[in-house]
């Protein structure tokens, strides 16, 4: 009898060891991308599914870890997790008392939800939000962290999903988690709050009502780069929606503290700090003035000068927003030497959307007055706007931004050499050329010296060579108006075909002399 018992127990022990060995091996194989497709095609999902309810916790947990690694690999594998109805089984593990089971189950939900809104909705539909929120109350910080991360992956896709997370009571617990000593938990919680707040003013207000801003704002100077990155993300997600929410962020004394993060060694920290500034200053001149009064102009100019690519974009936009409001704010950007880095971005960045932002910001600086337009012209911006506009490689949006910037600047440009250089440069399309000629028509009648220089420079001749134009066109009307400022003899002299007309008169007079 004893031998029989040992034999039976040996069989059961072997079975248990085999299950443990299987899930451990699968979990290890799933860490290597080259193995994932093979595992999937071999039907590993169906094999792991029943092991999620195994009587041995180690088997359950390791099977869940393997599934999370598979689901994280691609959208297709995450969809396989859903289609195999694995999510309801994970719900059992989430409500288990074993913290390791909760952690493993939450990691699968996080991996599934991160890919698409539909997959995140599947996680919600499985009834996992409330158990995930309960994970935030666990004693183990690791369980809290994975719960916060899973909620963040659900909330980030849409306002509907973020509202579902908020309705599940997540916000108050996430705010408590931000105050915990563990840095990784604080990072995950700050990111989750940011992903909830970013969608709508109502959701942002819910985050604010939980005293989030008061608690996270001091962390912009924290020594941990990862935490600073997520805190800045959270603050910008709140500030972007309205003047009132931006004022709440400002009232938490984030300025000038956040400017220090613009010089951080971590690129993402620098970028997120610039986004906070952009989202605050874009609302009205008063908030833009707060940024300027705290030394924000110099800090932003330095940021745009020293950064490249997508990291540069928020600073470029912030300079444009500040400059757009009024002359005095634009003057501060000019005085802070803000034009050269914007021009550099227009010339040297690879992505068209960054060039578009640069062209827009330069237009916002130059559109206020002749002084601002002159500052833009003297920096050599106008020829570059023209060449970028004419480039066949430029996107439609970039061309539109350049065209609008050229119009905004030339409408206030009274510096004849700059206007003349535009006229005598590469042939501009009529839509842009009329801006330049219209401004010449405003400048020339009031300055006799300018009229003389316009002739001697060759500009007047170039203007006449634009003829013939369609009668009644706006461009022709501007040219005809300019011609009225000069003696008719000069107009005739520089008109195309004038020399041939004179020769015809000469040849036409010779026969009359011979007959006489």
Q: Show pLDDT as tens, one digit a residue, over the chain (516 residues).
A: 677 777 777 777 787 788 888 888 888 888 888 888 888 888 888 888 888 887 788 888 888 888 888 888 888 989 988 988 888 888 888 887 788 888 999 999 999 999 999 999 999 999 999 999 999 998 999 999 999 999 999 999 999 999 999 999 999 999 999 999 999 999 999 999 999 999 999 999 999 999 999 999 999 999 899 999 999 999 999 999 999 999 999 999 999 999 999 999 999 999 999 999 999 999 999 999 999 999 999 999 999 999 999 999 999 999 999 999 999 999 999 999 999 999 999 999 999 999 999 999 999 999 999 999 999 999 999 999 999 998 999 999 999 999 999 999 999 998 888 888 888 888 777 778 888 888 888 888 888 888 888 888 888 888 888 766 677 788 888 888 888 888 888 888 877 766 666 666 666 654 444 433
pLDDT value, residue 469: 67
Asked if residue 399 belongs to a domain, the reply is yes
CB 107 within 8 A of CB 64: yes
Which two three-digit tokens encode residue 45? Answer: 């999902």
- For 307-321, give one letter per residue: b (16+ CB within 10 A) or e: beeebbbbbbbbbbb
- Whole domain around residue 325: which residue ranges? 295-300+308-413
DSSP 51: G
Asked if residue 346 belongs to a domain, the reply is yes
pLDDT value, residue 489: 82
**Residue 327 region, left (φ>0) first, then alpha (ψ -120 to 50), else beta?**
alpha
pLDDT value, residue 514: 41
CB 120 within 8 A of CB 128: no
Distances (CA, A) of 247 to 150, 194, 279, 400: 30, 17, 11, 33
Asked if residue 352 belongs to a domain, the reply is yes
- For residue 147, the tally of other CB atoms under 10 A from its CB is 33
Return the residue matching tokens 């990691």: 107
Asked if residue 87 belongs to a domain, the reply is no
Asked if residue 480 belongs to a domain, the reply is no
Asked if residue 382 belongs to a domain, the reply is yes
- For residue 18, the tally of other CB atoms under 10 A from its CB is 10
Asked if residue 383 belongs to a domain, the reply is yes
pLDDT value, residue 506: 63
CB 342 within 8 A of CB 304: yes
pLDDT value, residue 463: 84
pLDDT value, residue 14: 80
The CATH number given to whatever domain includes residue 318 is 1.25.10.10
Torsion of CA 311, 314, 316, 318, to 10 degrees: -150
pLDDT value, residue 40: 80
**Minimal CA–CA distance to 205: which of 171, 157, 161, 160?**
171
**Minimal CA–CA distance to 197: which of 181, 186, 213, 182?**
213
Whether the CA torsion 397, 339, 386, 494 is positive or negative: it is: positive
Asked if residue 454 belongs to a domain, the reply is no
- For residue 6, the tally of other CB atoms under 10 A from its CB is 11
The structural domain count of the chain equals 1
How far apart, in whole angstroms, are the C-alpha atoms of residue 212 and residue 219?
11
């Amino acid at each position: 009898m004893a031998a029989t018992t040992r034999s039976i127990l040996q069989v059961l022990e072997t079975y248990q060891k085999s299950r443990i060995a299987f899930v451990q091996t699968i979990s290890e194989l799933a860490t290597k991308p080259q193995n994932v497709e093979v595992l999937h095609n071999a039907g590993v999902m169906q094999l792991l599914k029943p092991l999620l309810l195994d009587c041995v916790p180690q088997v359950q947990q390791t099977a869940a870890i393997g599934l999370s690694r598979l689901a994280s690999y691609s959208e297709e594998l995450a969809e396989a997790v859903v289609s195999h109805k694995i999510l309801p089984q994970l719900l059992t593990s989430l409500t288990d008392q074993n913290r390791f089971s909760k952690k493993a189950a939450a990691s699968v939900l996080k991996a599934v939800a991160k890919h698409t809104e539909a997959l995140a909705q599947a996680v919600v539909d499985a009834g996992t939000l409330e158990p995930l929120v309960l994970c935030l109350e666990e004693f183990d910080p690791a369980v809290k962290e994975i719960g916060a991360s899973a909620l963040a992956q659900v909330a980030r896709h849409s306002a509907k999903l973020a509202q579902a997370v908020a309705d599940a009571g997540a916000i108050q617990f996430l705010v408590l988690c931000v105050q915990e000593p563990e840095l990784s938990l604080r990072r995950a919680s700050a990111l989750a709050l940011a992903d909830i707040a970013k969608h709508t003013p109502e959701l942002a207000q819910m985050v604010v009502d939980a005293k989030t801003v008061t608690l996270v704002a001091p962390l912009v100077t924290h020594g941990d780069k990862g935490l600073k990155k997520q805190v800045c993300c959270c603050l910008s997600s709140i500030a972007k929606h309205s003047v009132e929410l931006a004022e709440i962020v400002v009232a938490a004394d984030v300025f000038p503290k956040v400017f220090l993060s613009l010089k951080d060694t971590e690129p993402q920290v620098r970028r997120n700090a610039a986004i906070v500034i952009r989202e605050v200053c874009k609302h009205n001149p008063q908030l833009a003035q707060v940024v300027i009064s705290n030394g924000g102009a110099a800090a932003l100019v330095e940021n745009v000068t020293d950064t490249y690519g997508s990291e540069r974009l928020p600073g470029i936009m912030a300079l444009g927003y500040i400059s757009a409001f009024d002359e005095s704010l634009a003057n501060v950007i000019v005085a802070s030497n803000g034009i050269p880095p914007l021009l550099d971005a227009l010339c040297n960045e690879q992505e068209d959307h960054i060039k578009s932002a640069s062209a827009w910001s330069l237009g916002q600086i130059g559109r206020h007055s002749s002084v601002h337009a002159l500052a833009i012209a003297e920096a050599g911006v106008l020829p570059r706007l023209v060449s970028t506009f004419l480039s066949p490689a430029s996107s439609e949006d970039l061309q539109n931004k350049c065209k609008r910037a050229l119009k905004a600047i030339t409408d206030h440009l009274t510096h004849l050499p700059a206007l003349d250089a535009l006229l005598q440069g590469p042939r501009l399309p009529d839509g842009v050329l009329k801006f330049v000629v219209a401004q010449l028509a405003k400048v020339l009648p009031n300055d006799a010296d300018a009229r003389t220089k316009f002739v001697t420079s060759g500009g007047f001749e170039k203007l006449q060579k634009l003829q013939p134009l369609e009668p009644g066109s706006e461009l022709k009307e501007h040219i005809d108006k300019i011609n009225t400022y000069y003696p008719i003899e000069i107009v005739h002299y520089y008109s195309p075909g004038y020399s041939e007309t004179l020769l015809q008169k000469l040849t036409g007079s010779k026969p009359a002399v011979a007959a006489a």
